[in-house]
Amino acid sequence: MALGEAITLKRGYDLPSKKRVKGKVPVYSSSGRSGVHNEAAVHGPGVITGRYGTIGEVFYATDNYWPLNTTLYVSDFKGNYPHFIYYLLKTINWNNYTTASAVPGINRNHVHHCVVTIPDLTTQHKIAYVLGTYDQQIDCLTRTNGHLFERFVLAS
């Protein structure tokens, strides 16, 4: 099936730094979480990827968030499990969908034609659970390595 049959990608919203009001709502740019604001543009959970600049990174927001205009976000999951869609979008070769210009960009209309396989909802939950468990283990090991490195450097 075409990706556009499984989800709808939409361009993020303008929010210049000078117009941001400090709050608790994460703001996402094409390179990930890049600040906070006092109001959300989109209700979570959400999946965000770079539209201009950084291409190929995919981010998952558990709560409400603000996707900047340099991003694409999933505006409609069409009944699919958001956490599975996050992992699915990480498998796409985004460079196949970039426009030829000085700053690489993604045309969402082209990405919507990407052919993907979407399993049933139960299988989506199982896949996301397993991959999420691995991500948690990787995060834990990364933090542990950081603590060990700090101890080693401080002890030297």
Q: How far apart are the first and last CA of the chain?
A: 57
Same domain for 126 and 103 = no
What pTM value is reported for the model? 0.88
Count of all residues that appear for the chain in the document: 156
Contact in structure between 39 and 33 (CB atoms under 8 Å):
no
- 71-107 pLDDT, tens digit per residue, is 999 999 999 999 999 999 999 999 888 876 777 788 8
Considering its fold, how many domains does the chain have in total? 2
In whole angstroms, what separates CA 59 from the centre of its chain? 2
149, 108: one domain: no
Read off the pLDDT of residues 131-150 as tens digits, 9 standing for 90 and up: 999 999 988 888 887 766 66
Going by C-alpha positions, the residue among 53, 55, 47, 139 that lies closest to residue 95 is 55
Q: Is there a single domain that holds both residue 95 and residue 138?
A: no
